[in-house]
Homo-oligomer: A and B are copies of this chain.
Amino acid sequence: MEFKEAKNKFIQTWGALGSQWGINKTMAQIHALLMVSPEPLSMEDIMEELLISRGNASMNLRALMDWGIVYKEYKSGERKEFFTAEKDLDELAVKIAQERSKREIKPALRVLKDVSSIKGNETKETKHFVDQTSKLYDFVLKADNMIDKVTEFKDNWIGRLVMKIMK
Categorize the interface residue count of chain A. Answer: 35 or more
- Asked if B136 and A162 sit within 8 Å, CB to CB, the answer is no
Which residues of B lie under 8 Å from residue A166 when comparing CB positions?
Answer: 149
Closest chain-B Cβ to A138's Cβ sits at a distance in Å of: 9
Chain A contact residues: helix, strand, loop or mixed: helix
Asked whether, in the complex, the Cβ of A139 is within 8 Å of the Cβ of B21, the reply is no
Q: Enumerate chain B residues within 8 angstroms of A165, measured Cβ to Cβ.
A: 146, 149-150, 153, 161, 164
User: Interface-forming stretch among A53-61, A62-70, A110-118?
Assistant: A110-118
In the complex, residue of chain B having the shortest beta-carbon distance to the beta carbon of A146:
B162
Most chain B beta-carbon neighbours within 10 Å: one of A13, A111, A115, A126: A115
Whether A87 contacts B132 by the Cβ 8 Å rule is yes
* A136 touching B89, Cβ below 8 Å: yes
- Chain A contacts to B: CB under 8 angstroms: 1-3, 6-7, 9-10, 13-14, 17, 19-22, 35-38, 87, 89, 93, 104, 108, 111-112, 114-115, 118, 120-121, 124-126, 128-129, 132-133, 135-136, 139, 142-143, 145-146, 149-150, 153, 158-159, 161-162, 164-166
